[in-house]
C-alpha cells in the first residue's frame, strides 16, 4: 500500500512540475508581446510600401493588376499577423479550448465569458453538457451562471 501512495505522490509531483513549466512558458509569451509602438511602426511600413506601389505604377494594364495584387497581399499579410498575434485565425480564438480542458482536469466546470460567446469568437463544444457563463465584464464583481444543456431525444 505504501508503494502505491509513493507512486501516486511522484505522479502528482510530475503533474505539478508540468503545470509550472507551462506557466513559465505562458509568462515568456506575455513578456514577448509586441508593444503599441512596434505595431505603429509596422503600420507605417505597410503604408509606405502601399504608397510606393501606387506612386511608381505605370499606365500599362499588367502594371495595374500587379499593383493591386501586391497591395492586397501586403494588407492580407498584415491582417493575418494581427490575428495570429491575438491567437485568432478566421475570427475564432485558438488555444482557448486547452484552457477549458484544464478546468475539466481539476474537476471544475468550463468557463466562457458571455462577450466571447456573443461575438462568436468561442463556441461551446457539442459534447459539453454543463458549463459556466460569466455575465460580468472583466474587473467587475463576479456574476456567473451555470448552464445545463438538455439531452436531445
pLDDT tens figures, 102-149: 777 788 888 888 887 787 777 787 888 888 888 877 777 888 888 887
Shared-domain flag, residues 73 and 116: no
The three cell numbers of residue 60 are 500599362
CB 112 within 8 A of CB 135: no
Evaluate if residue 75 carries a pLDDT over 80: yes
pLDDT tens figures, 3-36: 666 677 777 778 777 887 777 666 666 656 667 7
> Of 59, 85, 111, which one is at a domain's C-terminal end?
85
In a domain, 90, yes or no: no
Give the Cα separation of 70 and 62 in Å (integer): 12
Q: How many domains does the chain have?
A: 3
The residue-averaged pLDDT of 69-89 equals 80
Domain that residue 101 falls in: 95-148
Amino acid at each position: 500500500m505504501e508503494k502505491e501512495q509513493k507512486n501516486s505522490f511522484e505522479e502528482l509531483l510530475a503533474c505539478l512540475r508540468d503545470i509550472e513549466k507551462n506557466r513559465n512558458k505562458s509568462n515568456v509569451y506575455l513578456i514577448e508581446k509586441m508593444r503599441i509602438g512596434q505595431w505603429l511602426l509596422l503600420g507605417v511600413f505597410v503604408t509606405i510600401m502601399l504608397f510606393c506601389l501606387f506612386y511608381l505604377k505605370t499606365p500599362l494594364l499588367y502594371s495595374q493588376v500587379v499593383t493591386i495584387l501586391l497591395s492586397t497581399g501586403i494588407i492580407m499579410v498584415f491582417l493575418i499577423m494581427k490575428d495570429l498575434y491575438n491567437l485568432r485565425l478566421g475570427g475564432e480564438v485558438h488555444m482557448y479550448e486547452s484552457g477549458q480542458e484544464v478546468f475539466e482536469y481539476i474537476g471544475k466546470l468550463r468557463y466562457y465569458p458571455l462577450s466571447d460567446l456573443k461575438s462568436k469568437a468561442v463556441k461551446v463544444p457539442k459534447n459539453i453538457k454543463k458549463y459556466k457563463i460569466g455575465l460580468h465584464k472583466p474587473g467587475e464583481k463576479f456574476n456567473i451562471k451555470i448552464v445545463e444543456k438538455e439531452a436531445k431525444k
